[in-house]
Amino acid sequence: MPILKPLPKRLLLGPGPSNAPPAVLEAMSRPLLGHLDPEFIDLLERVKEGLRNVFGTTNAMTLPISATGSAGMETALVNLLEPGERVVIGVNGVFGGRMAEVASRAGADVTRVEATWGKTLDPSEMAEAIARVRPKVVAFVHAETSTGVCQPVEEIATAAQQADAMVVLDCVTSLAGQPVELDAWGIDAAYSGTQKCLSCPPGLSPTSFSARAIDAVQARETPVQSWFLDLSLLAGYYAGEKRVYHHTAPITATYGLAAGLDLVLEEGLPTRFARHREAAARLVDGLAPMGFVPLVDAADRLPMLTSVELPERIRSLGEGSVRARLLQTFGIEVGAGLGPLAGEIWRIGLMGENARPETVDRLLEALHEILD
């Protein structure tokens, strides 16, 4: 019996992965180069430049980490924090909580500033904690994938800068779907994933580090606990004149990311952002008559991920059964709630190539068939 069997086609409207377009899938099937081949190093340089474009930065150390977004998170935190160092982390969902857990395992002294899931962090509470704790690092999530909340960045970043703290920003879901402006905002470390608004398969985490962040890594007194994610070692391969083997870079995934970035930059970021906003508006409008209510206030909603409280009809059918029917009968995946929101909400992603009216309509039609 073969291990790889025919696989069904899905429309992926959960919190990621999103569908990858044909150009990205074709790129993934190209023959391999070696990771030290000058042609591959050239490709990496162009990928780094493309990532600078979407991150809104001139940071030299902008690179795809060789694993998914959670590894990007771990890279940022374990490099910038040494045991005993203080960090203030905003927690209003799964991913803020994950940051706190990762920082804690790195031995950092973690102060959590909590907000209700589905609400934004209160910038004045963050500022108060920053002024009180005087942390080395302030970390929070731009687009909280567990709730659909978009966090305004600038006020918190400014409070961190005034306290001379570095800022780590989780851009896993926001990158390439809404404005991300690392340099304008003064962000020192950011990470994302390829499987959201970049519309590539999961497997790489685009990251970017300011010169100040790199200086802080170089000034560490203790080694970074992870050899695999040590930025000083990674710099030996990803930057500089002589490229030194560290680990074997994921060649094929890099091809996919290159093709994905080409599509993003051809379309143009403002057009792409507008497309995400319009698709989300169409979704919310179409869901309202069925009784789905957005979890998040209109001003704080993400364009690429909409969380909706479930109508009574879906609850009585069993929300898991309805999601299973959407998947099995209609080939459409939507995301369940996590943590305290499990069973309460769905998370509907319209990310990258999927942020289009026809995608929205396909989901709405399927829901009408189930509910009418």
Region 283-302 residues binding its own copies, contact defined as CB under 8 A: none
Give the nearest distance from C-beta 145 to its own copies in angstroms: 10
Scanning 54-62, 96-104, 280-288, 358-366 for contacts with its own copies by CB under 8 A, the matching segment is 96-104
Question: Is residue 352 close enough to count as binding its own copies by CB under 8 A?
Answer: no
Q: Is 213 in the site for its own copies (CB under 8 A)?
A: no
Sheet holding 305-309, edge to edge: 11-13, 332-336, 345-349, 305-309, 293-294
For its own copies, which residue of 143, 169, 173, 223 counts as binding (CB under 8 A)?
223
Enter the tokens of residue 371: 């509910």
Write down the residue that tokens 């203080």 correspond to.
Answer: 86
What residues between 119 and 178 interact with its own copies by CB under 8 A? none
Q: Which of residues 259-278 bind its own copies (CB under 8 A)?
A: 259, 261-262, 265
Stretch that binds its own copies, among 112-120, 156-164, 226-234, 274-282 (CB under 8 A): 226-234
Binding residue (CB under 8 A) for its own copies from 64, 123, 193, 337: 193
Q: How many residues does the chain have?
A: 372
Q: How far is residue 363's CA from residue 282's CA, in Å, rounded to a whole number? A: 11
CB count in 10 Å sphere of residue 268:
10
How many amino acids of this chain bind its own copies (CB under 8 A)?
A: 77
Q: How far is CA 104 from CA 58, 77, 88, 150, in A?
A: 30, 10, 11, 25
Q: Which of 5, 219, 270, 312 binds its own copies (CB under 8 A)?
A: 5
Cα separation, 189 vs 168, in Å, equals 5
Q: How far is the CB of 152 from its own copies (least distance, A)?
A: 26
Q: Which of 56, 69, 90, 294 binds its own copies (CB under 8 A)?
A: 69
Specify the 3-state DSSP secondary structure of 39: helix
Mapped onto helix, strand or coil, the DSSP state of residue 270 is helix
- The residue among 26 and 215 lying less far from its own copies, judged by its C-beta, is 26
Residue 39 or residue 312: which is nearer to its own copies going by CB?
39
Compute the distance between CA of residue 154 and CA of residue 165 in angstroms, rounded to an integer. Answer: 14
Q: Please tell me whether residue 187 binds its own copies under the rule CB under 8 A.
A: no
Q: Which is nearer to its own copies, 111 or 226 (CB)?
A: 226
> What spatial distance separates the first Cα and last Cα of the chain, rounded to whole Å?
41
Looking at this protein, which amino acid is placed at residue 125?
E
Nearest approach, Cβ of residue 29 and its own copies (Å): 4
Q: Is residue 206 involved in binding its own copies (CB under 8 A)?
A: no
Residue type for 72, please? G
The Cα-based distances of 264 to 192, 254, 257 in angstroms read 15, 15, 10
The Cα 226–Cα 199 span in angstroms is 29
| 240 counts as binding its own copies under rule CB under 8 A | no
Q: How far is the CB of 167 from its own copies (least distance, A)?
A: 21
DSSP-derived letter for residue 142 is: S
Does position 344 bind its own copies by CB under 8 A?
Answer: no
Q: How far is the CB of 169 from its own copies (least distance, A)?
A: 18
